Amino acid sequence: MMEPEVEPECRSRRLRAVTRRRYEDDGISDDEIEGKRTFDLDEKLESVTFNATFVRFMEGKDFTFQYVQRDGLRSPLIFKKKDGLGIKMPDPDFSVNDVKMFVGSRRMVDVMDVNTQRGIEMTMAQWVKYYETPAAEREKLYNVISLEFSHTRLENIVQRPATVDLVDWVDNIWPRHLKERQTEATNAIIEMKYPKVRKYCLMSVRGCYTDFHIDFGGTSVWYHIHRGGKIFWLIPPTPLNLEIYESWVLSGKQGDIFLGDKVEKCQRIELKQGYTFLIPSGWIHAVYTPEDTLVFGGNFLHSFNIPTQLRIHSIEDRTRVPSKFRYPFYFEMCWYVIERYVFFLTKSSHLTKQFQRESQLIDEGTESDNTENGDDVKEEDDTDDASDKERIHQSDVMPADRNGLLSDFRGSAGCSLKRSPSSESLDSGAGSVGSQDSPADHWIHLTHFEHVGLQSLLDKLQSLPDHKKCVPSGVQHPDALLSEMQKVLEDHMNDDPKLACSGFPIVRWPKRRDKPKPHRPKYRPPPPPFIRLPLLKPTPGSRRRRTRCKRCASCLRTECGVCHYCRDMKKFGGPGRMKQSCVLRQCEAPILPHTALCMICEEVGQNAEGESNSVRGALMECSACSEIVHPACLKMNISMGIISKELPNCWECPKCVRQERNKLALMKKGLSPKDSGEIARRRYLAELLRKREEQTRRVQAIEAARRRLEILTKRKKFDYLLLRKKRLAAAEHNARKKIKFEREQILLRTKRKAEDSLESPIRPKILRPLRNREDLALAPHPRPGSSKDGLRPGRSERFHRRQLRRCPDPSRAKPASGSGTSHHPRQLSEIEKAKIRGSLLTVRLHRSPGDFNGATAHHRLPNASLRQTPRVVSWQSECQCQRDNPSPSSDTPPEDHMMQRHLWMSVFRYLTQKELCVCMRVCKAWSKWCCDKRLWTKINLSRCKSITPTALGSISKRLPVSLDLSWSNISRKQLTWLINRLPGLKDLFLSGCSWSAISALSTSSCPLLRTLDLRWAEGLRDTQMRDLLCTPDKPGQLDNRSKLRNVTDFRLAGLDISDITLRLIIRHMPLLSRLDLSHCSHLSDHSLNLLTAVGSSTRNSLSELQLEGCNKLTDQCLNYLKRIGNISCINLHNCKQISTGACELLLSELSVNGLFCLSEERQIRKIS
């Protein structure tokens, strides 16, 4: 009996010992046993069973918001190139080490162990060290898939697809002022103010594997491979597949079962470097990394697959996913989705007042209206605002609100809204988003995906118990919000799916002008102790900036608001970049700053002895060396200094004056320094000193003459002034005579050189024509010593002898002595014969006599048609050229001109007006011909700063048909004088001018214009338009019709006019065909009704109508535009309340009578 009992005991001990020994020898932890993978991953990478085709390949330009409205993001998308997606990525050489520099080396990151699928924490520096370790030396495989880098420097260089920005709830639903308060870069839920899941950085080493999973909250994912590559296994989110996935997760056998083998269809897809991948909501996927990879991506919720998102959230609840790995503020986001859709579909908001002010840009008009009712209402509002602020301060979006402790129900009705003008104007600038930012007046169609999703979201919120509803503090009256949402969904059950795919989002926050500043707690440091500012101790050669005197007239006046400096100021609407004062406020006598010091004694405004009231104690700045000193501190004769009369405390110090005098003395002695720059500087100083002394003498002479005049009597003063005037006239006459004599001397010397070189046959020259020997014999012989034409005595005799010697005389030919041959006279060339005959053609071009006060000048023709060598013309040539200047008294051009007038006019027609002005300076004939009115039909003086009387006289001589005076400074007097002398004027352009000048057209002398341009005129309103269009009644006036009755083109863009002006136009302009009313803010649909009413002249005469930027026009006005019979162009660009669909409807109705087209800028134009 004993033996059977002993054997089991020994056997049991042996078994326990063996079991314990085996456990200790393995050395494997419980975590490793639980997460160890038993299936062969290499087999799954090469298996051909995962060959389903779920993924679509697209181009970036096709992925638009309209595609999302049609498809609902149901299929995975792959973009091989990022062109057209709006993605912004770092440079290709961007590495993990650069990520560490942008997010910080101490940033804690969640790292997943690939073998156990469990997470640990590392610093960014530790992760980079592991990532850069060679693959053979890595003991374990780690993977980073949850580094959210928003609010870091890396955020600025990574931008996700543009369409994702339009559908993401975080950007378009969540209150943006809460998002702007986020300052913490980590994902700590305590510091998180919004769902911070927009941008992730994923860093994986070779061999990493992430098992099948669904992204948290059913979010969709955008995924860009920056470096490396990835392999995905994809399973669609069908109800059966989701049940298999849920059972697989709850079974705890993820390491033993490959989920792709359990489902019916699974696809394996490989992503290469540069690919962009979009995973829709609910898709089950696993990821393998074949090489070291750097990926940028992000998660987002949207309105086109809400049922799947809610189903995934329910699966997370049943599988008990920790809150750290779930979408933050999920149900708070759902409440804001309901509120935003209700607001944009019904124009009623359920946000608190503070949320409306900070996120929705709502005016505080409700508060100002309530204050009028009494102090009680004001106190109640203050308490409400205080309570709202307290709740937001305690927990804006904290999980504590999930328990319903912060929910406050004060009624069942939503509060109505008032949109501020600023928000409306900002909404219109949304770019490609269109004008859908604000609640639209027209009916908004919901897509089928949105309608079904909102209904499921509403059912989900209604089914939640009170302690799980998680109503955020920014939403008030949640029950009323849900009931109102139910009514909205009932109203939108029959929405047109085609009209719903408009390409514009329904929900979007209004745009802001200024970039919001991050919310930081205000820190008020203690007031700093009083510190005396350091005084400016000047250095030689540095000039101090002077300050205002604050006493002159310029300093005391206000800004003009017109000059370019005032327009740059921020208070006048400018950018404030120039930092300059008004032109009219420039100080006349700027003074030295109060911090200026003396360079010698380093005191302010006084010297060592304490003198401060006298001139010796005041600081003086030298205009030459810029030194600031007390005159008494120089220890030299201060009387040598030259004090400036223009600036206070400015002089030329005695040291600089003495240096100038010394240098001038050296130059007078002929002592020149070696340096050429020093010579130039000394010459400049000497010239400056000479001019100063000359100016001093002139001033002294004027002062002496003034003193003498004061002593003389009135009669003697008159005689003295008359005598002085005669002396000045005589001096001027002598100077002109001297200049004329010098010019004649130069001309005569030139002629003498030409005559002396006549004997050389190689250099032909243009000479004055020679007379025959008979004429020379008959001419009186000049007397010795006589002077003719300013020649000195004896010159005329020599000139007469040279003429006789050059004239050919056959009788003087004699046989040569000393030879048996007779010498015949040399045969003259044609050029020499022409010189003797005097028929050499010379051309002189003269300026207008008024340009040189009667003096003439000789010019060469600029064209190459006149050859450089003299041209020989036969003696019988009929074409003669005028050798001398025409008589100043003759106004008519010469009849024997080289070309007739009609030939020159045909040439002048090809020249510009600037070139015609140059041709007018050639000769008197051209000066008159170039003023022909056929060459000056159009004159442009736009943006001319000043129009002189000479210019007005020139315009009146040319009689233009079209005159452009846009944005010029013409006055009423000048315009009145001008239109009285231009009866044939048809087109007048006065855009940008003031009413004071335009009022000249209201007179009876106004010509019958055809085109009148008054765009952006200053001070032109309905009253002024009445004066302009209505002719004033005068006694004896027979014709009371308007002077603008023949106008066919009337431009009134940018004017502050209303329907009164339109009635005047209809009455007084029966021939009007083109009307420009762009940017007239007071025009409405009723205005167009007046223009197209029965019996109005504009209904049949208008052919072109410009209505760009008229914001009060709606789709109703297009029904009135159909009445215009001869319309050919309608411009509706930037009319915010006119839809494209209404324009297309108008286009189809107008196309009955002709062929019209519609451009992208809403411009309807008839195709001829």
pLDDT tens profile 204-237: 999 999 999 999 999 999 999 999 999 999 999 9
Is 50 exceeded by the pLDDT of residue 373?
A: no
Q: At what angle do helices 949-958 and 972-979 cross, to 10 degrees?
A: 20
More confident residue, 518 or 880: 518
Is the predicted pLDDT of residue 659 greater than 70, yes or no? yes
Is the model's pLDDT at 882 over the cut of 80? no
Q: What is the mean pLDDT of residues 449-456?
A: 92
Q: Which residues contact 904 (CB under 8 A, 6 or more apart)?
A: 926, 929
Q: Is the pLDDT of residue 407 over 90?
A: no
Angle at 614 between CA 611 and CA 618, to 5 degrees: 75
Q: How far is CA 94 from the centre of its chain?
A: 33
In Å, what is the CA distance from 118 to each residue of 18, 37, 141, 756? 31, 13, 12, 114
Q: Give the mean model confidence (pLDDT) for residues 1029-1048.
A: 75
pLDDT band at 841 (very low <50, low <70, confident <90, very high): very low
pLDDT at 535: 42
DSSP H helical ranges for 999-1113: 1022-1029, 1059-1068, 1085-1091, 1098-1101
Can you give the pLDDT at residue 418? 34
Confidence of residue 63 (pLDDT cuts 50, 70, 90): very high
**What is the band of 1040 on the pLDDT scale with cuts at 50, 70, 90?**
confident
Residue 163 has pLDDT above 60, yes or no: yes
pLDDT at 744: 86
Q: What is the pTM of this model?
A: 0.43
pLDDT winner (highest mean) among 683-692, 897-906, 930-939: 930-939
In this prediction, residues 792-808 reach a mean pLDDT of 58
Residue 266 structure tokens: 């699974």
pLDDT the model gives residue 1103: 92
Q: Which of 537, 545, 547, 548 shows the shortest CA–CA distance to 628?
A: 537
In the chain, % of residues over pLDDT 70:
71
Residue 384, pLDDT score: 43
Percent of the chain topping pLDDT 90: 30
Mean pLDDT of the 295-317 span: 94
Burial 1133-1157 (b: 16+ CB within 10 A, else e): ebbbbbbeebbeebeeebeeeeebe
d(CA 332, CA 397): 8
Which range (492-501, 587-596, 885-894) has the least confidence? 885-894
Quote the pLDDT of residue 359.
73
- Averaged pLDDT, 560-577: 85
β-strands 1011-1013, 108-113: how paired? unpaired
Report whether 597 contacts 537 (CB < 8 A). Answer: yes
Nearest to 218 by CA among 289, 304, 160: 304
What pLDDT is stored for residue 369 in this prediction? 39
CB-neighbour burial class of residue 759 (10 A; exposed 0-12, middle 13-18, buried 19+): exposed
- In the three-class reduction of DSSP (H, G, I as helix; E, B as strand; rest coil), residue 268 is classed as strand
Residue 595's pLDDT is what?
A: 80
pLDDT at 1039: 66
In eight-state DSSP terms, residue 617 is G
In terms of Cβ atoms closer than 10 Å to its own Cβ (0-12, 13-18, 19+), residue 167 is buried
Compute, in degrees rounded to 10, the torsion defined by CA atoms 787, 790, 794, 796: -90
| Residue 898 predicted with pLDDT over 70 | no
Confidence of residue 242 (pLDDT cuts 50, 70, 90): very high
The answer to whether residue 383 scores a pLDDT higher than 80 is: no
Q: Which pLDDT score is estimated for 483?
A: 92
Helix (H) or strand (E) holding 78: strand 77-79
Q: Is the pLDDT of residue 866 over 50?
A: no
Amino acid sitting at position 242: L
pLDDT at residue 446 above 80? yes
Q: Which amino acid is at 48?
A: V
Q: Average pLDDT over the chain, rounded to whole? A: 76
535 in helix, strand or coil? coil
Strand 650-652 vs strand 642-643: parallel, antiparallel, or unpaired?
Answer: antiparallel
Q: In what order do the strands lie in the sheet with 1049-1051?
A: 938-940, 962-964, 987-989, 1011-1013, 1049-1051, 1074-1076, 1104-1106, 1129-1131, 1163-1166, 1156-1158
Q: β-strand 1129-1131 against 620-622: which pairing, if any?
A: unpaired
* pLDDT single digits (tens) 968-1001: 999 999 999 999 999 899 999 999 999 999 999 9
**pLDDT tier for residue 804 given thresholds of 50, 70 and 90:** low
At 221, phi and psi to the nearest 5? -130, 135
Q: Are 213 and 231 in contact (CB under 8 A)?
A: no
C-alpha–C-alpha distance, residues 574 and 960, integer Å: 39
pLDDT in tens, 262-300: 999 999 999 999 999 999 999 999 999 999 999 999 999
Tokens 């702007």 sit on residue? 180
When mean pLDDT is compared across 355-359, 620-624, 1098-1102, the lowest value belongs to 355-359
pLDDT surpassing 60 at residue 816:
no
Residue type, 531: I
C-alpha distances in Å from residue 822, one per residue of 808, 814, 1045: 18, 8, 96
Residue 977 confidence (pLDDT): 92
Nearest by Cα to 750 from 763, 767, 736, 738: 767
| Distance in angstroms (rounded) separating the CA atoms of residues 1133 and 1053 | 13
Q: What is the pLDDT of residue 307?
A: 94
Structure-model confidence comparison of residues 1132 and 834, the more confident one: 1132
Q: How is residue 718 written in tokens?
A: 């008159």
Q: Report which of 148, 138, 137 is spatially closest to residue 114, judged by C-alpha positions.
A: 138
Question: Are the C-beta atoms of 963 and 982 separated by less than 8 Å?
Answer: yes
- Mean pLDDT calculated for residue range 320-338: 90
Examine the pLDDT at 192 and tell me if it is beyond 60: yes
Question: Could you tell me which of 371, 310, 338, 302 has the C-alpha nearest to residue 476?
Answer: 338
User: Would you say 992 and 1016 are in contact if contact means Cβ atoms under 8 Å apart?
Assistant: yes
Higher pLDDT, 830 or 136: 136
Task: Round to whole Å and give the CA distance between 283 and 270.
Answer: 17
Q: Which residues contact 1033 (CB under 8 A, 6 or more apart)?
A: 1040
Q: What element of type H or E holds 685?
A: helix 676-711
For residue 873, what pLDDT is reported?
33
> Residue 643: beta bridge partners?
651
Helix (H) or strand (E) holding 518: none
Q: What is the pLDDT of residue 456?
A: 93
The answer to whether residue 872 scores a pLDDT higher than 50 is no
Nearest CA to 554 out of 594, 583, 593, 592 is that of 583
The DSSP result for 982-1008, as a single string, is -TT--EEE-TT-BHHHHGGGGSTT---
pLDDT band (50, 70, 90) for residue 713? low
Indicate whether 1102 pLDDT > 90. yes
What pLDDT sits at residue 118? 80
pLDDT bucket at 117, cuts 50 / 70 / 90: confident
User: What is residue 737's predicted lDDT score, i.e. its pLDDT?
Assistant: 87
CA distance linking residue 605 with residue 216, whole number of Å: 75
Burial per residue of 946-957, b for 16 or more beta-carbon CB atoms within 10 angstroms, e otherwise: ebeeeebeebee
Does pLDDT of 523 surpass 80? Answer: no
Q: Return the higher-pLDDT residue of 695 and 1105.
A: 1105
pLDDT of residue 785: 44
Asked whether residue 89 carries a pLDDT value surpassing 90, the answer given is: yes
Cα 201–205–211 angle (5° rounding)? 80
Return the pLDDT at 625. Answer: 85
For the residues of 140-173, what is the DSSP string, one character each? S-EEEEEEE-TTSGGGGG-B--HHHHHH-HHHHT
Q: Return the C-alpha torsion angle 319, 320, 326, 332, nearest 10.
A: 110
Predicted local confidence at residue 796, as pLDDT: 61
Q: Cα–Cα distance between 340 and 31 in angstroms, integer?
A: 46
CA distance 353 to 416: 11
**Which residue intervals of 807-939 are DSSP H helices?**
830-837, 901-908, 913-919, 924-929
Task: Give the CA distances from residue 1030 to residues 120, 876, 1059, in Å, rounded to whole numbers and listed in that order.
Answer: 87, 70, 16
Cα–Cα distance measured from residue 306 to residue 75, given in angstroms and rounded to the nearest whole number:
15
**Helix 239-251, helix 306-318: angle, nearest 10:** 20
Q: Is the pLDDT of residue 9 over 90?
A: no
pLDDT of residue 256: 86
What is the Cα gyration radius of the chain?
A: 48
Q: Are 618 and 561 in contact (CB under 8 A)?
A: no
Would the CA dihedral through 1139, 1143, 1144, 1149 be positive or negative?
A: positive
Name which of 159-168, 220-229, 867-876, 975-984 the model is least confident about.
Answer: 867-876
> Taking a C-beta distance cutoff of 8 angstroms, is the pair 233, 306 a contact?
no
Residue 412 has pLDDT above 50, yes or no: no
> Tokens 């290469």 correspond to what residue?
272
Q: Is the per-residue pLDDT at 405 higher than 50?
A: no
Gap between the Cα atoms of 1024 and 1022, Å rounded = 5
Amino acid at 420: S
